[in-house]
Structure formats: C-alpha cells, structure tokens
Structure 1
C-alpha cells in the first residue's frame, strides 16, 4: 500500500508539471476494476499510463471504494497497466489515445502464487481512517482473539466500554448499535449482555459513524456503531476454526465456514463459549441525618461476584445469485445462553464515632436464561447504470430472557434476623423490521437516494419479588413488583441528494419519523401513550484539497428514546439500601450534532482530526434521592433517570496511524470533551421538607488510547494497547481516573495455515471505576471492577484461506455503507 501511495504521489507531480505546458490536449480516462469471477470492486487498484516514447514519463490514478477510476492524461501513445497487489496485471501496449476513453470494467484475476507469499507489511492497517467514519478490521487484531464483541469495541478508536459493559462514543453513552446495518434481535433486551456473549471471531469489522446521514435511523444522539458479521466472499470452500482457553476458567470453540460458487454463496458462523468472570466492588458511605441536630452513621459495603456465561451462537445463510444483477440473501441466527451470578455482599455498620454496630450479609444467587431467534432476508437488484440499485430488507426476531434469584439476608450473629426472598424477572421481546432503499445516480457526479423503514417492537417485563414467610409460603412484595409492557412502532421515510463539483461535494438529506410509543405499568394501572413525529435533517459538505487531503463539515439531528430499565418503575434489587428505579414518564431527548473534520495522508502517516458539538434538550440525568424507606435505620437511596437538563457536549479528537518502519505500526486516538448541563430538581425528603438540587455543572475530561503492533523475527507479532481515562466531575460527585493495559503475542505455524495467540486483558488489574457521590444526606466513595485480569490462549486454523487474504479489504454490500463518492 505504501508503494502504491508513493507511485501515486509521483503521478500527481507529473500531472502538475505537464499542466504547465501550453497547447497540450487533455483527455479523460475512466473505468472501473473488479475482481474476476465476482462483482466485488477493487479499492486502491492502480492504473499506470507509461509514455511509449519516453518510458520514464508516467501518469495514472487509483480506484475509489467502488472500484472506479477517473483522471486526465495528455493525448498520445501509451503502454497501460492495471495492477493490484496479489493479482495478475492486465496490460494494453503501444496504443494511441486522442479522445476521452472509457475502459468499462476491467477484471483482475487473483495470482495464487503471489497470494501465498504476501508479507505482513502488505496488510491494510487494522484501523482505516476515512473522513466520515472509521473502520476497524477485527481479523487483524490479536488483542481480541478468544474474546467477545465488548472486547472488540473497547479497542475501536473513539469508542469506550466501561467496567459494566456500557458502550460510549466520544464519551457519550447515547449511541445506537447496529448489526449488519440494521437493529438486530441479537441485541436482545440488554445490549451490554448481548455484546459480552457474541464472540469476537464472528465479527469482520466495526464502523464508527459519528454523524450519520438521513439513510440511517435517527436514534442515537452520540452516533452509530455498526457491527458487521463475517460472510465469506472467496470462491470455493474455505473457512477457519478457533479454539480458545483462558484464566479465569474460560474456553470456547468457533467456526466460520463458507462455500461460494457462481450460483450461490453459503456462509455460517457457529460457536460455543464458556466464560467465568470474577468481579468485586466496595462502597464506603456516610449517612447524615436531615434533622435540626444532624448525626452521622457509616456503612461500608463489600461485594464479590463470580459470573458464569455459557452458551452457543449460530448464524448461517445462503446468498443466491439469481442473475448477474440480482441477489437474494436469507440468514438465520440463533443464540442460546445460560448465566450464573452469585452476588455476595457484606454491610459493615458503624455509629457516628466509627464504632462497629452490626454486620449484615446478603447473598443474591442469580441465574439467567436467554434465547434469541432471528430470520433476515435481503433482496438486491442492480440496474444497468453503475450504482443504480434497489434493496429490500426484512427481519423478524424473538428474544426470551429469564433472570431469577434467591436472596438470603441476615445480621451476623442474630439467627432470628435471617430471611429469604426471591426475584422473578421473565422478559419477552419481539421485533419486526421492514426496510427498502433506492439509489439513483444522476449523471456522472450526482446521486439521489430514498427509502422507507418500519420498526415494530414489543417488550413485556414481569418483575416480581416474593418473601418466604414462617410457614414456608412465598408472599408477593407489591411495593417492588411490577408488570411492564413497552410497545414501539416507528415508521420512517427519507430522501437525500448529493453531487460533486470539481473538488467540492455535498450531501443533503431529510428523514421523517412517526413514533407511537406505549409504556404501560400494568400492575400500577398506569398507562402512558406518547405519539410524536419529527423531521431529522442532515447535511455534509466536503472539499478535497488534494488526493491526500480533505475537509468536511456535517450536521444531523438525532433522537434518543428511553428504553428498558430506564422506563421500568422497578428494575433492580441487588441492594436493599441502594435502589435503581426506572421512570415510565421519560420523554425522548433530541440532539443537534455538528462535526468539522480534516483528513491528511502522508507516506507513513494518516491523520484525522475533528471538532464536534452536540446540543441536547431534555437529556437524561440520573438523580439520587431519599426514597422515604429505611432498612435497619439506614435510609434507602433511590437512583432514577429524569428529563432534567439541557446538555452541551463539545470536544476535539484526533486519530493517527503511523508506520515508522515496515515492521512497526502505531495507532493513537485522543479525545478531549467538555460537558455542560443546566437544570434544577426538587423533591420532598423523609421529613416532608422540600429539597431543591441545582444540577448546573461543567465537566471537562479526556481519554486516550495507543496501540502498537510490532512484527518480530520468526513470524511473531507483538501488540500492546494502553488506555487512560481522565477524571471527570458531575453535579453530584466525580469520577476518578482509570488506566488499563492489554498485551498480546501471536505466531504463525503449520506453513501459515494456523496462528497461536496469547493475550492478556487488563495486564495490571487496574481497570476499576472509582467514583464519589456527595448529597445533602449521604457522602460515598466506591470502587467497581466488573472483570479482573483475563488471560486467553487461542489457536486458529485456516483452510483454503491465507492469513493475509483480502476478504476484509473487499467492499461488498455490508448493509451500512452510505458515503458519497463523486
């Protein structure tokens, strides 16, 4: 790739020199380059025009992501070459060109001999930086071998995953996660849990889109993360198997198999995983009485967990090539998992002088079952004109999730205080999706798109708490039990138009969404219906200073609808004194997002930077307040989300890919952001007094991640990732800094048909979320570690498929690409 860029730079210089000559006839050369035997375009293929009379004089260009090339040359006689690494060169010798020439489609054939000997330096960078998005190729990253999709996302530029599994983009948790460009039943009811279950080896790449166009769902004020699953594109039978084992006890087996012919393409990803994860937390709290003569009591909470997740996932389908322009793809996804999470908590109580009063133990033995089924179908029709196509997508999914637990609670040394409770939490979700998209090229430089999406979702959550009485009967606790029904029907229409004028291009669009939301707390006989419709405009402006330098300005309006535990009036009972309660009356939050980006490529460096600002109305804020209840004299503190504030989030980030040597690659991501909130909240405390809290707050924080990959002798690769999260203040406390380091080594064996990889997640066991909360009635400090240091060893075997095969480089229809290329 570096050699190609150097040649291309020479082309540009030669073109500039020739342009200074008077009375020289210029002609336009165009066409496209595809892989022979498929409909896959070859991006960055090279077209070389060599002057037949003066061989030192070169001109030409490279293809874009759709395989197109277009450039000008001086009329004359040339030897022409069409080249791509690991493919056989096509040559046209000693031919005179006096008028504009369109070569049509040039097909290049893979050179098997070359492909077998491709060196590691010929790989595309693990992180591809584009002006409107970043593409993370999972197949080249040793760090996630044997891991999960959560591990994948935690290595993606601009993306962070906190110790609880919550995903954030540029520090913003209001992010929409898609699978293959669509909302997926794989996400189930709890997206964080789903990502921890899906194996990393099932993922081909991840696209990060910070300011999406009108084609995408308007959901997600922070942007979109699109996870693209593997679907092989190589001819014949090929695939890979991955075996992994780790400490704490973890093992798995995953396969990716593909068979492609001229008429159809069969693909599958099947795996079984067994993972244990040890975690712990501590919270030290001081509770201050709200009376005229305040007194304090102290409570230290210590918690340990040893989670177990086991289950299988399978995805298989068939892509039918009905004719040269029409494909029909059908796929079936099944995921079944079992989980255990014994949560053991000790509460150490102290009086105002820090003298021990009593110790309480609470064991929450939780078990879970989750089953997901999804059928998806796609129909794609390509018309005669390039990029003119119609696609139709439908998917139907069902998710059943059950979380049941037995809770044992007692004061140590007081047998009569022992009591037993249980929680029952079955959840059912159905999601149906209908979508169609139409793309119409207009002339050579313009494009029109339009489409429809209908998303219809229904969730039913039946949360029940029972207490075991003296007679051995279970008695329902109506205070905390609740049956919640959530229905969401969203119909959307969009259109967008883009064009390119010389070096300037633009893309304007608008999306209309009609939303019908029902949040029904059936147990409380509380029914909420929210109907609203909105227009969501988008705009992107782009200017190319040169082939290696460009700038863009983009705008989009986004929406963030509350779901799941945000809405359930009661959805947590892991602690009797710290309760999380949802709010069924939450309204959606709206965001206006602006982004100014700049991209520059040099021979060894790719640099991308952007400044952004997101302005959100009615943003969700978590407030902590007294519930009015007491447990053993300790007030129960309730945490709940409300539409509290106007939020302005502004920031600056940059990404750098740097290859100082052929054997060393560096990637760095830095993000600095400032978050300003404005709002007031009032409630009545246990003394029937009105408490007014001011949430006006300005917090500045940053995080950075650096990744280094070094190719050592004997085909050994060494990769290191280090991430630092700076501290951040909030209206009710602050979050402390956090640092984590991951390490991995890999070696190719069996004539490069297999790879052994060893990776260590959280090398120094330092990935802990530390925070403090300061309220009028309580001050607390906490540390939380979701998962301790993890060590994994994996073995990958490939057949009929080389390590450096370019499956991840090809630009098929991944269900999510919408960037405008003039």
Structure 2
C-alpha cells in the first residue's frame, strides 16, 4: 500500500514537471467591497472561453487568495460567494502568468430571504504548520461548554474528567486567540468547562508548531479562536438553554461597528449540577495492612454557578492602524458535596465501615485586561503587532470533612476543616513583525510570560474536646514563580509547488518554588526537598515543508523540538487530602522533558464533496513524565496503608502513530465526518528500585453525521470510541459514548430551537486497574451523568449565514498572526 502510494506520488510529480512549461498561473484575491475583509471559501471557476466548460477551480484560502495552473489559452473567470454578487471576467489571455489583483464583491441584499444555508458542517484547512477546523453548526454542543466542543475535533480526545489530549498525549498547550489566557485557565482545563461552546469560531490543531508559538507542549498546541463580528451596524444574538440534570444558562453576544469603532461584548450566566460517581477497590498483598481489602463508593453532588463577560473595543486610527482594548472577567461559585462510603474486609468478612462526607465551597474570580496594537504597511501581509496582557485569578476553597465509623463502635474517626487560597498573577508582553519578500516571508518576535502563584493551605483537626486545632505539620504556604522569556525568527518561501517554513526559537525558563510549613516539621511522605530554584534554556528548531501535488492534494513534512515544563500542582510537595488512603503528591525534583517530533501528512480533496486528511508521526521524549503509584510506608490512625500517586521523570517515551480523517458531503441533505487515530508508545525507566518499562498501543475514533429532515429539521449524531490503554502499572478499559441532537429554524430563520442528548447510554466512564508488588487497585469514575439540553437562539440584525462567514473572514486578526 505504502509502496503504491510512493510510486503514484513520484509518477504524478514527474508528469507535473513534464507539462509545467505548458501551463500558466492565474492568481488573485477576493475581498468584501465594503470593508476589505478577505472572503475565505469564495468559489473560483476557470472556464474555457470557447467550450464554456470548467477546466479548473477551487476556493480561496483564509486570506481570500487563490492560485491555479491551467494550460495556456483563453478563459473566463467566475467568482462566487454566498449572499454576494457574482463577478464574471471574460476572455482572459493566459499565454503567460496573470494576477487578477484584488477582486471586490458587494453584498447582494436583495437575495437575503433566498439564501440557502450551506457549509454548516466542520471543514478543514491545512497550512504549513497546522490544521484549521471551522467548527460549523455543531448541534450536539448547543448549551454545552468549550470542553464539549473540543471533544468533536479530530485528533483531540477529552477524558471523563475534562483532561484534553492530542493524539493520545496529554501534554497539549491550550491557547486562546494565539496567547495563554485566563479564559483557558492558564493551563488548567477546568475553566473551559464553564464557558459556552458557541463562543468558538474555529480550532487550530497545531501538531507541528512553527517557531512563532510557545515551545511548551510536547503533544502540540490547540489554539481556540473566538468569534468577533466586524459587520457594520449593530447586531448580535441571545442564547438560552435548560437541561436535566440541571443545566441552565443564557448568553448575549452583541457587536456595534462604525467607521472608526468596533465595540463587542459577550455576557454569560450558567448554573449546572453535573453529578458524578466513583468506585475504588484496593487489595493489599503486603503485610503492611491490617486489612486484606478496602472498597470506596463515592457520590459527587455538584452545584456550579458562573458569570462571565468579555467586553472590548477596536479603534481604527486609520486604514492601516488599529488598537484594541478588551476586558474579560469570570466569577464562579461552586458548592460540591462528596459522600465516600468505605468498607474494610479481612478474610472476606466486613471488619469496618466508615462514611466520609466533604462539604466544599469554592469562590473564584478571574480578570484579564488585554491591549493589542496592529500596524499594516503598504505591502500585503507586511505588519507589526504588539500585545500586553495582565491577568489575575483568585480562588478560595473551604472544605469541611467528617468521617465516622458506622459498623462497629460508631466512633468519629476524623473531623477536619480545610481552607485553601490560591492567588495567581500573569503578565504577558509580546511583539511580532512580518515582512513579505515576494513569494518569501520573514518573521521575528519576542514574548515574555511571567507568572506568580501563591497557595495558602490551612488544615484544622477536631480534638477530643470538640475544638478545632491547627495541624501545623500539614498546613503550609507554597509560592511559585514561572518566568519564560523567548525570541524567535522564521523564514518561509515558495518555489513552484514547493513551500517551506524554517524557524528557530530561544526560550529561557525560571521555575522557583518556596514551601513554608506552619510548623517546624512537615508531614510529607518520602525524601522531598521543599524549595527549589531552577533555570534552564534551550533552542527549539522547527521545519515545515509542503509539496502541492495538484490544486487539490498536497504532502507535508514537519519537524519540531518541544519542552514539557512541570505545572505547579505537579511540583507542590504537600499531598492532597481527598482521601486518607489514596493521595496525590507533587514532586519538586521533577525536571523538564524534551521531545523531538516528526510528522508526514497527506491531504486530498475531491471537489466540495470529499476531503481526506492523513498523517503518520513519530516522537521521542526524554525525561518524560509518568504518574506512578506506590506504598508510602505510612498508615492511617486506624492502620490502613497510605498509597500515593506521584509524577516522576522516566528515561524516555517513544510514540508512533497514524491518523485518518474524512469529510464527506454526498448530498445536500447529508454530511458525514469521521476520523481514527492509532498510536503506540514505549516507555523506559526506573524509580525507587521499581522498573516501569512499558510497551502499549491504543486508538480512538469518532463519527459524526448530519441529516436534513423534512420541515427544515436537522438531525446530528456523534459517536466516540477509545480503545484500551496500558502503561507501566495501569490498564484503562475501552470507553464509548453517543450524542444526539435535533434543531429547527423558526421565526423566518431569525431563531433556532434545538434538543441534544449527551452520552445517550450513560456509558462515559473510566475504568482503571493497577497492579504492584504491594497492592492491586481498581477504580471506576464517571464525572458527569447523561445530559439532556434544550436551547433557543435568537439573532437580531444578523443574517445567519453571513454572521458565520464574516466571523471566519477575520483570519489573521486572532491568533493567526503572520500566516505564510
């Protein structure tokens, strides 16, 4: 199969070279006549002037540009874009290369009521360093969150706890509009569960990042581009939803545009009760335990209320210069209650039963101020951008824990009161300069990202007199600084059908931590240093190559070097206390991991009906992170061994993989989307005398279909399956889920109602089994049970199709700076 493909590619390449001299190149750019915005996906048809047959064609890219090779001759050119006037250029002499310049299309207002809505399914656009998925009208994410929307993006997997991975690798960098942001939770994915999915315009899957991006994230980068309308006048939409278990909210998007100002806002409120459950079972094989078996049944009752607002304005100083000021804020009020029923057995008989309840209250507020400056020069693509961003995040968690014996003596085992305060400050400054040079492009930039985090953890124990006394061996203050300074430069060029982008990035990192226990002695399992100050620097080269086999197919090759820096929760030495017997502990001795990755991709389009994307990839990571479980040697007050999970550096981790995606639109009423990702990894390493070598393979696949039913009803089905996985200690069982949705446009297409069911069969559960010399552990976890949601959307002063297409037309303004 591979040999045949190679032979076909070589044959096509030779044929292309043989007829290259007989062809001419036709190029140009299509823009909106009113605002000069590039029109992406405008249809271009090259028609023989004599026979009137179409000989070539396609769609414009994100900059509105097109370029075709056709045999020399006389042609007509037809340019079309939905809701815009059609332009025809006749008798174009293509005896030599011809550039049509900028083609301006005016809006065809008279046809507003007759617009046929198309392009509502996810589409893909392949660049030198990334794939761009325009989310389209995904019915299953109505009333859902950004995390739910990411679960439908090819190459991306979202586990039951909201953890996001790319091609099976969890070390993925999340950016908002090209930058780290409070909106994305500074690396934590919890915040993405609170924000509405309808805020997303598109998602960039960057598996071979160029030098303009952070070197962070060995798996790659997910860049979430948010919607921002730039249409003249006042327009927007209101969205309201309600669901069971309780899931209700409302959001308002509004935009007002004049010649000099563009004012935009997004306001949202949500209240959710995503209840969950879990089960844990430990069988002890060592003599360290007074019990043979321990079982925990957990029930999570969550009540989460959130408010968010994103307000900003762009001032157009002149035709080439603009400045944007925006403010984002989010307030969260979460009340969670956890019931942990624990059974302890000896020789098959119940010896003890306890009930542990946790009442947790979490108040969080985030604020982010961003200032963006953009200056465009006379030459197309020549520009300078600068950004300043300051963010603060304050979180306070109070937790009252009560554990009682139910079986024998009915005694109180432990009563604790826990308070945790976390304050984060993040300052980002960056500048990017792009200089086109004919077919070539040079780019250089600077980024400084400086973060300070302070975590104050206070634990009170109830004594025999009923008084709460400070536990000074556990209470502590953890201060953490993460400072990254980077510069980069890259150069790209195009020679015929061959394009390349070469880059080099330099980053200097400081990770500094200081832990101050409230008492003289800290109760910490293991021999772990409390304070650290690490400085490291590195060069990160990137290479991205593309060869256009034809106008509708290409081959890409990418290489990049990446880094995985430990997050604060991975290096905080004090253990968590969600359970007395199963704890998580950070490791301050954790060193950064480095990876080298290669990616070969192939894309083929068959008109507008079928698009195939595929790639094979290889990655080798040194000092890779691995979470392992081990017996701490300590026991609880009632003699139960304490097992900890701790991240460590293994010697290496090698990954091999391949993925295949298909977008198929066989008819106007049917749209299909499927993908499969297979990967294999090999790890090697030892820790505390235990060997953690492992060799495992797995895959995940998804399928989506959208059907147009009678009476203008749309029906969408999303299915997901992930195969079994296994590392050095733990095997994870397969998981499958199914989502369904229906929608209908009403009120002259100004409004839409929809109904969706998430996890129809209530099967989205994670099952793990861990085997060591001291114990065997089994766990089952379901973060959220089946969800049913109804949504109503009303659009004002906004044509449905145009709001979507113009949102895409902004292109480089949000995170795609300096595209080549």
Give the TM-score category using the shorter length.
over 0.9
- The answer (yes or no) to whether the contact 2:381–2:818 under 8 Å persists in 1 is no
| 1:188-226 CA distance string (max 9 Å, x none) | 367221011111122222211111100000000000011
- The answer (yes or no) to whether the contact 2:122–2:134 under 8 Å persists in 1 is yes
5+ residue gaps in structure 1?
Answer: 1-12, 683-691
| Residue 657 (str. 1) matches residue 654 (str. 2) | no
CA drift of 1:820 comes to: 5.4
2:365 pairs with one of 336, 357, 371: 371
| Residue 113 (str. 1) matches residue 107 (str. 2) | no
2:651 pairs with one of 620, 625, 645: 645
| Residue 434 (str. 1) matches residue 429 (str. 2) | yes
1:166 pairs with one of 146, 163, 166: 163
SS at match of 2:624: strand
| Residue 260 (str. 1) matches residue 257 (str. 2) | yes
| Residue 540 (str. 1) matches residue 534 (str. 2) | no
Paired residues, what number?
790
| Residue 756 (str. 1) matches residue 753 (str. 2) | yes
1:87 pairs with one of 67, 84, 88: 84
| Residue 794 (str. 1) matches residue 759 (str. 2) | no
1: CA distance, partners of 2:24 / 2:221? 42
- The answer (yes or no) to whether the contact 2:743–2:753 under 8 Å persists in 1 is yes
SS at match of 1:187: helix
Distance of aligned partners of 1:77 and 1:650 in 2 relative to their CA distance in 1, 3 Å threshold: closer
CA drift of 1:470 comes to: 3.2
Structure 2 counterparts to residues 167-566 of structure 1, below 5 A: 167-188=164-185, 191-290=188-287, 297-351=292-346, 353-412=347-406, 414-443=409-438, 445-523=439-517, 526-566=530-570
SS at match of 1:399: strand
RMSD: 2.4
SS at match of 2:169: coil
1: CA distance, partners of 2:411 / 2:806? 66
SS at match of 2:806: helix
- The answer (yes or no) to whether the contact 2:63–2:811 under 8 Å persists in 1 is no
CA drift of 1:311 comes to: 1.6
| Residue 134 (str. 1) matches residue 139 (str. 2) | no
5+ residue gaps in structure 2?
Answer: 1-11, 523-528
2: CA distance, partners of 1:336 / 1:571? 28
Distance of aligned partners of 1:242 and 1:288 in 2 relative to their CA distance in 1, 3 Å threshold: same
Structure 2 counterparts to residues 581-660 of structure 1, below 5 A: 581-603=585-607, 604-631=609-636, 632-660=638-666
Distance of aligned partners of 1:478 and 1:628 in 2 relative to their CA distance in 1, 3 Å threshold: farther
2: CA distance, partners of 1:237 / 1:571? 52
CA drift of 1:645 comes to: 3.0
Q: State the partner residue of 1:10.
A: none
Distance of aligned partners of 1:102 and 1:343 in 2 relative to their CA distance in 1, 3 Å threshold: same
1: CA distance, partners of 2:730 / 2:65? 54
CA drift of 1:482 comes to: 2.2
- The answer (yes or no) to whether the contact 2:228–2:807 under 8 Å persists in 1 is no
- The answer (yes or no) to whether the contact 2:176–2:815 under 8 Å persists in 1 is no
- The answer (yes or no) to whether the contact 1:137–1:808 under 8 Å persists in 2 is no
1: CA distance, partners of 2:789 / 2:49? 57
1:709 pairs with one of 706, 716, 724: 706
- The answer (yes or no) to whether the contact 1:597–1:609 under 8 Å persists in 2 is yes
| 1:260-281 CA distance string (max 9 Å, x none) | 1221211111010000011001
- The answer (yes or no) to whether the contact 1:29–1:102 under 8 Å persists in 2 is yes
> When the two structures are superposed, what TM-score results if normalisation uses the length of structure 1?
0.92
Structure 2 counterparts to residues 687-702 of structure 1, below 5 A: 692-702=689-699
CA drift of 1:155 comes to: 1.2
CA drift of 1:478 comes to: 3.1
> When the two structures are superposed, what TM-score results if normalisation uses the length of structure 2?
0.92
Distance of aligned partners of 1:297 and 1:501 in 2 relative to their CA distance in 1, 3 Å threshold: same
Distance of aligned partners of 1:195 and 1:46 in 2 relative to their CA distance in 1, 3 Å threshold: closer
CA drift of 1:819 comes to: 7.9
CA drift of 1:172 comes to: 0.5
- The answer (yes or no) to whether the contact 2:712–2:744 under 8 Å persists in 1 is yes
SS at match of 2:801: coil
SS at match of 2:190: helix
2: CA distance, partners of 1:372 / 1:567? 23
CA drift of 1:76 comes to: 6.9
- The answer (yes or no) to whether the contact 2:391–2:425 under 8 Å persists in 1 is yes
Distance of aligned partners of 1:427 and 1:223 in 2 relative to their CA distance in 1, 3 Å threshold: same
Distance of aligned partners of 1:617 and 1:99 in 2 relative to their CA distance in 1, 3 Å threshold: closer
CA drift of 1:477 comes to: 2.0
Distance of aligned partners of 1:795 and 1:101 in 2 relative to their CA distance in 1, 3 Å threshold: same
| 1:655-676 CA distance string (max 9 Å, x none) | 1111122211111110111111
CA drift of 1:80 comes to: 4.5
CA drift of 1:145 comes to: 0.7
Distance of aligned partners of 1:772 and 1:448 in 2 relative to their CA distance in 1, 3 Å threshold: same
Q: State the partner residue of 1:728.
A: 725
| 1:383-438 CA distance string (max 9 Å, x none) | 11111111101100000011110001111153443531011110000000001111
Distance of aligned partners of 1:407 and 1:203 in 2 relative to their CA distance in 1, 3 Å threshold: same
Distance of aligned partners of 1:221 and 1:28 in 2 relative to their CA distance in 1, 3 Å threshold: closer
Distance of aligned partners of 1:123 and 1:193 in 2 relative to their CA distance in 1, 3 Å threshold: same
| Residue 574 (str. 1) matches residue 582 (str. 2) | no
2: CA distance, partners of 1:441 / 1:303? 59
